[in-house]
Structure 1
Amino acid sequence: MKRFLPLLMVFATTNAVAQPADTSAAQHQLFQLEDVFQLEYASQPAVHPDGSYTVFVRNYMDIMSDRRLGNLWRVDHQGEMRPLTGGVANDHSPTWSPDGSVLAFVSNRTGSNQIHLYWTDTRDHAPMTRLTGSPSQLTWSPDGQWLAFTMFTPQQKSAPVKLPGKPKGANWAEPAIYIDKDNYRFDGAGYAADGYTQIYVVPAAGGTPRQLTHDEFNHGGQLTWTGDSKHIIFSANRRDDAFHQPNNSELYQVSVTDGAIVQLTDRNGPDRSPQVSPDGKKLAWLGYDDGYMSYQLTHLYVMELDGKSSPKLLTADLDYAVANVKWSADSKGVYYSFDREGKGVIAYQTLTGERRELTDAMGGLSYTRPYSGGTYDVSKHGDLVYTLAHPYRPADLMLQAGTATRQLTQLNEDALAHKTLGRVEEIWYDSQHGDYKIQGWIAYPPNFDPQQKYPLILEIHGGPHTAYAGSFAAEIQLMAANGYVVLYTNPRGSTSYGEKFAQEIHHNYPSKDYTDLMDGVDAVIAKGFIDEQRLYVTGGSGGGVLTAWTVSHTDRFAAAVVAKPVINWYSFVLTADSYNYFSKYWFPGKPWEHQEHYMKYSPISYVGQVKTPTMLLTGDADYRTPISETEQYYQALKLAGVKTAMVRVPDAPHGIANRPSNLMAKVAYILHWFNEHAEQK
């Protein structure tokens, strides 16, 4: 209990600051911290093979366990819903058998993650495995006889040292831990156990899972079966020097009979997400030729599985990264998605090159901050079911049949319909440097009056190669509900604006993206309703980098909150989980070979210029931007005489908001810091 005391205290103190002491009905109509636990959203739609209904995960926030959980629901194409599973459990990854009689999914409802089956005729469901690890990537064989999946498989290794002389019953310290793995810890997973991710198959009728791959490589990612149900195609980096080529995976196929592995692709760059066509003759997948850039477009390829023709690039003319590939039922074309200017597009393309965009409304899965990204499924008739991006609701499901559309779910009307949310407006503004228009959004306080003056929060996205969208975001709405105008934009380096736009910050970050952000602030101030004495800035991860960079390059902001930042690129590369990737793709070489370059773009180099009161906020278990980065900046700011504070979120990884109470704490601390410095500039 003691370790959580600082977090609990903030709700007693910060709510009094962030929320006016007003218990009126009008106050309760605003979106408040505790409302986070009322949010739901739809994800992972799986259309039944006959096309008549869709099973999806109905995600909810469990207030007792402080976790996001989910049950499986079905919705027909008239919008009638019913539950398939219930209770306090995390059910996910629904996958239909080829004939639609059985649904496989993963659930922890028996105490550990196991594969479960749901039978449509009896509406019963039950676990079919007793695995010692967590299965993922469930995939049915075309004949319906097998399920393939991946699972981390421990590989026991004895410690090289064993201490002598321990008396029986003696209470010695825990033994020292010996680590010699290349990548030894991962954000969200902690220190890596000895072992590898391997591929398994299990009979659909139940039985003993059988391990197909055994080599000392990770065989993760999407699986797909060949049409004869005799082989499984997967992606892996099976090179002996995989550590030094972290982006160089290939496609392989493994025989279900004897485990023999055959390599299908060979090039410098990633090949992943394979999908065999329904007729079993063709293979689609994603990848690109590696140019060692910090951002590179993912393209779509197709080839004949008989090996008689070369791979064909289908998206050479598309300046956006492709994802979520699915074959049409007749094997004559593929569906895929991409983000363009913050919108999720689903397209269909024939193998001869004709492309049709079907919708640009997909998104909504990132309910905490307004990131782009969504998912969809498609029926054999070509009907789409996708997650809907909406500025005032987390993801619902939308059906598109031909040119007709129908919203299938309204999961948050009970929680949000009676709330007065901040209005969200899309804006475009000019960049001072370069011939670009920059996209952004303004969230206005509820009951906004343009004749008044409001404080402004600039909220900066992470990545840096990600993008914000016009989607619901709990953090943004909470800030707006507390009387702030909130600006969030997609500066240079953001995705969904083409490869050149994203690569503007290659080996040059932060730099031009900072000027784009300041141009956005100026554009909002020009509208006439911003109090320039009450400007605030915050951001997480890459946004934390830019926030720290901002306060060292201007003193226009009254206060700043730097969340889970990188402060020193030199130390970051040598402590982050994916250090072999960052040093190879984000920088011209290793830190000691390019010390001047690393330090030129490190906020720590400019700490002597900071005058802005700056709070830092990071999870204790963050291995992506380790908390040592935060500690460096905290101590540097103290030495520089800058008012600062540090918030450490116990046990939280890089995704601080994975637990609802941590999302609440994050926003509460940000509002506390800004409110505290409202009159001090």
Structure 2
Amino acid sequence: MISMEEKAAPQGLTIDDLTRIKKVGAPLLSPANDFLVYQRSVADADENDWQDLIVLLSLDARAETVLGKGTAHAWSPDGKELLYETENGALHIYTVQNIESRFLAQRHASSRFINHLAADNCIWSPDGTHIAYAGAAIGTAEPENQAIRVIDDLLYKTKGGRGRDTYAGSEQLHIYLIPVTGGTPWLLTSGIYSEHSLTWSPDSRHIAFISNRTEQPDDIQQSEVWKVDIETKTVIQLTDQKGLTYQPAWSPDGKHIALLATSGPIGTNDSPAEDTHIALIDPCGGAFRYLTKSLNRRIEHIRWHPSGRYIYFIAGDRGDTLIYRVDIETSIIETIQEGTGCISEFCLDAEGENLVFVKSQSNRPAEIFHTKNQHAAIEQITQENTAWLATKTLQPAGTFWFDSFDGTRVQGWLVPPVGQEQTKKYPLILVIHGGPHNMFGQDFDERMHLLSAAGYAVVYINPRGSHGYGQKFTNGTLTNWGGGDFQDLMAGVDFVLDQHAWLDAARLGVTGQSYGGYMTNWIVTQTSRFKAAVADGGLSNLVSFAGTSLYYSLMESEFGGRAFDRFDLLWQWSPLRNVSQVTTPILLLHGETDNEVPFSQAEEMYVALKKAGVKTKLVQYKGEGHGWRPDLKPRNKADLNTRMIAWFDTYVTTTSNEQ
């Protein structure tokens, strides 16, 4: 007979559960508020891949239609049709009443990487007559010799992974226009520069966009807002400022263009320290007027209220991501949707009275929610993960604050092991985020729950450099990688060990991805207190990274100038420099086609560790790009996580230790 204790035995997240988790995103509410289209990402075990499904949901009947694999872009102004794109770049229009799709045009993608916030959008004209999109022209000339690659620019690499070529072609992105009734698309822009992140004027006469038209756009990370007249094809520059501009959005009344912007003199195409803020410009050009500097947080995902009076946006704040709005006349900022958790995307209904948003919590994967009665009530629309969650015990993350070495207040979270027993001591794993300017918090992270289910407590911390605590805090890693942030992490580990007697200070492990992988490599060169380490997609040599990464500009932005003028500083903060001090067994995990943190970064660390006699292993994932990204092939994701846990099981020592 099974005892009550055995029946109630909690079960945490397992490796097999990784393919059961469904991810949701990109919600688009129809103008009549009767249909919602969103993206559902599910694992395909047979194909060993992920499928991004376009799901159309009737909000009244809760009946759903899967339109296929791809991305939904925009509703028609009358809400009767939906523009979407299949995996191969074919644009289609779906008619809701007829339940039929018709082919519109073939959009050709560019392999060139622009920046991490470039919007790859296709937009429906407000008058309902045309579709505009950014696409690449397909050349007919073949290279003279297919066996030889001639490189003549700096951004010659792509992000790689999932079968993509790891080297960029020469094609630029330009704006095309096509009638919604079909036909041959015509070119609105041309030349040697790319255009992206499109927005229509309300009168359907102009399209504003982002373009980097500096003398060396692959070297100088600066961009401006431009607009093109769809009849004359005349292109006019609207902004002229130092920094980067992102994702312009024309106001409903046509009086303003809102955008995200940074103003630093040295830009980077990935992970800038400077927080993005909302700026407002006149559609005819002119000076910036920043609206959100007073919030002192990183702004993303801007959406106009139908009245044109307010701009809604999301921003991270001390581990939570909330929805705010700013009054464009007074610059007063209000919190619209708050609470524990992380909101990643949202859209307003046609009246601007309510929201649809995507939200996750530390122990709940993201689902889609809908506010009712002017935010008085919240309804969960999707139940993608409800069934399997009911069979699981996923521990919530408890937050804590501590004073670091210099008195700086730092926030962290502690996840206890599943089935924790009061009479036992448990090993502790420190997990470190990437960026370095990312933010941990009340978001769902599979790693925490896999480790918790394996019998580990997990601590994660937002050291200086993280966003969500103000610009001064975010700047805390500039020219100082592995300095103050390392001390923050160690102070946080000491704090939780002191506060929780059930944690075993003798059994510690550390892991992280990307910048977290860098910090993992750095930590084992600075201390021997961790019994095991797992570095995923981590940096080891900042000098060679500056010359081989797709994000070479990151080193220039973080260390204040050209890498060749700062080699001494880059080498000072390179884990490889201190590898002779390492005694901690370390597992190195890396994607073969990772151009963000090239595989050579793991190779350099691995060879040095081997020669130093340290227990180490290097695992390369063929055809994979960077780190813990969502599209890591299911079998590779399972293997990666299995190896991580096995490494900690081997070296951290998980044998129960009663008090």
Superposition TM-score, scaled by structure 2 size? 0.91
Q: Which residue of 2 aligns with 1:192?
A: 168
Deviation at 1:182, TM superposition (A): 2.1
- For the residues of structure 1 that align with 2:551 and 2:653, how far apart are their CA atoms? 42
Match of 2:66 among 65, 85, 102: 85
Tell me, yes or no, if structure 1 residue 245 matches structure 2 residue 220.
Answer: yes
Q: Which residue of 1 aligns with 2:322?
A: 345
Residues 266 and 560 in structure 2, CA contact (< 8 A), matched pair in contact too? no
Tell me, yes or no, if structure 1 residue 60 matches structure 2 residue 46.
Answer: no
Q: Which residue of 2 aligns with 1:387?
A: 358
- For the residues of structure 2 that align with 1:296 and 1:673, how far apart are their CA atoms? 37
Q: Which residue of 1 aligns with 2:3?
A: none
Tell me, yes or no, if structure 1 residue 140 matches structure 2 residue 124.
Answer: yes
Q: Which residue of 2 aligns with 1:225?
A: 200
Output the amino acid matched with 1:573: A
Deviation at 1:662, TM superposition (A): 2.2
Deviation at 1:431, TM superposition (A): 1.1
Deviation at 1:158, TM superposition (A): 5.9
Output the amino acid matched with 1:621: T
What is the DSSP-based 3-state SS (H/G/I as helix, E as strand, rest coil) of the residue aligned with 2:570?
helix
Tell me, yes or no, if structure 1 residue 299 matches structure 2 residue 290.
Answer: no
Output the amino acid matched with 2:86: S
Output the amino acid matched with 2:231: T
More displaced stretch, 186-195 vs 31-40: 186-195
Q: Which residue of 2 aligns with 1:13?
A: none
Q: Which residue of 2 aligns with 1:439?
A: 411
Q: How does 1:176-215 map to 2 (within 5 A)?
A: 176-188=148-160, 189=164, 190-215=166-191
Relative to structure 1, is the Cα distance of residues 33 and 26 closer, same or farther in structure 2, using a 3 angstrom cutoff?
farther
Deviation at 1:306, TM superposition (A): 4.6
Q: How does 1:200-599 map to 2 (within 5 A)?
A: 200-220=176-196, 222-246=197-221, 248-292=222-266, 294-307=272-285, 310-352=287-329, 353-361=331-339, 374-382=344-352, 383-401=354-372, 402=374, 403-433=376-406, 435-526=407-498, 527-579=500-552, 581-599=553-571
Relative to structure 1, is the Cα distance of residues 550 and 624 closer, same or farther in structure 2, using a 3 angstrom cutoff?
same
Deviation at 1:244, TM superposition (A): 3.2
Residues 351-410 of structure 1, C-alpha deviation per residue, up to 9 Å, x if partnerless?
22232211135965xxxxxxxx60000012221111112222211111123122222222
Relative to structure 1, is the Cα distance of residues 568 and 249 closer, same or farther in structure 2, using a 3 angstrom cutoff?
same
- For the residues of structure 2 that align with 1:592 and 1:306, how far apart are their CA atoms? 41
- For the residues of structure 2 that align with 1:456 and 1:236, how far apart are their CA atoms? 47
What is the DSSP-based 3-state SS (H/G/I as helix, E as strand, rest coil) of the residue aligned with 1:45?
strand
Q: How does 1:153-164 map to 2 (within 5 A)?
A: 153-155=137-139, 159=143
Residues 541 and 575 in structure 2, CA contact (< 8 A), matched pair in contact too? yes
Residues 108 and 136 in structure 2, CA contact (< 8 A), matched pair in contact too? no
Match of 1:676 among 627, 639, 650: 650
Deviation at 1:495, TM superposition (A): 0.7
Superposition TM-score, scaled by structure 1 size? 0.88
Q: Which residue of 2 aligns with 1:122?
A: 98
- For the residues of structure 2 that align with 1:651 and 1:362, how far apart are their CA atoms? 37
Unaligned stretches of 5+ residues in structure 2: 1-5, 111-118
- For the residues of structure 1 that align with 2:56 and 2:45, how far apart are their CA atoms? 24
Residues 361 and 388 in structure 1, CA contact (< 8 A), matched pair in contact too? no
- For the residues of structure 1 that align with 2:264 and 2:504, how far apart are their CA atoms? 47
Deviation at 1:282, TM superposition (A): 1.7
Relative to structure 1, is the Cα distance of residues 455 and 622 closer, same or farther in structure 2, using a 3 angstrom cutoff?
same
Output the amino acid matched with 2:76: S
Residues 4-44 of structure 1, C-alpha deviation per residue, up to 9 Å, x if partnerless?
xxxxxxxxxxxxxxxxxxxx977894321111111112211
What is the DSSP-based 3-state SS (H/G/I as helix, E as strand, rest coil) of the residue aligned with 1:268?
coil
Tell me, yes or no, if structure 1 residue 49 matches structure 2 residue 24.
Answer: no
- Counting matched residue pairs gives 627
- For the residues of structure 2 that align with 1:486 and 1:244, how far apart are their CA atoms? 40
Over the aligned positions, Cα root-mean-square deviation in angstroms equals: 2.2
- For the residues of structure 2 that align with 1:446 and 1:202, how far apart are their CA atoms? 55
